[in-house]
Amino acid sequence: MAKCNLNVCLKVFMVSVNTLFLIFGMVLLAGGSYALAAEFQGIDADIIKELGIGLIVVGLFSMLLSIMGCYGAIKRRKCPLVAYMIFVFIIMIALGGVAYVLFSSKSALEKIEAGDKTGNNYGVCSTKYHCAIRSNVLFSQLII
């Protein structure tokens, strides 16, 4: 009896989490579509176009991944669940790599420090590392 309740609980949890990711993907898709359709003054059109396409791609991938997770959880199919787990694992490894590069890259931290010296205020920060985490500095600005 307890095993049955656990399976139902896990199914509800998987469907709930994947529904949130589906909504997140829809928001990204809508944001990317808006970025492509709207006209922004003072911002390079190529950058907005690349940003819009990137948001659409990430939104579609997120939506497809969440649909695969929901389908696997509801129908109890092993193949979509295994594919879902592999994709989520790859995403986690990639995000860990990006975090490692950002927090261990001396040039990225120097660029953040240079921004502080030029008068950019990132909010109430206790250290330069805390400023980097709480700032609204774009990821592309840290890498370039």
* 66-92 confidence digits (pLDDT tens): 999 999 988 888 888 888 889 989 988
Q: Are residues 19 and 56 in the same domain?
A: yes
Same domain, 57 and 97: yes
Kindly state whether residues 100 and 114 are assigned to the same domain: no
Per-residue pLDDT, 49: 87
Rounded CA-CA distance 139/141 in Å is: 5
53 and 89 part of one domain = yes
Same domain? 62 vs 23: yes
The position carrying tokens 């490692």 is 100
pTM listed for this prediction? 0.62
For residues 48 and 65, membership in a common domain is answered with yes
Same domain, 8 and 74: yes
Give residue 134's pLDDT: 42
Instruction: Check residue 115 and give its pLDDT.
Output: 60
Residues 111 and 99 in one domain: no
Question: What is the rounded CA–CA span in Å between residue 27 and residue 61?
Answer: 12
The tokens for 37 are 């359709």
Residue 56 and residue 21 in one domain? yes
Residue 117 has pLDDT above 80, yes or no: no
**CA-CA distance, 100 to 82, in Å (whole number)?**
27
Which residues form the domain of 92?
2-104
pLDDT at 27 over 90: yes
Same domain, residue pair 87 and 121: no
Are 118 and 91 found together in one domain? Answer: no
Average pLDDT over residues 46-61: 89
Question: How many domains are there within the chain?
Answer: 2
Mark whether 88 and 110 lie in a shared domain.
no
* Residue 86, both tokens: 């592999």
pLDDT digits (tens, 9 = 90+) for 3-12: 667 788 888 9
What mean pLDDT is predicted for residues 18-25? 92
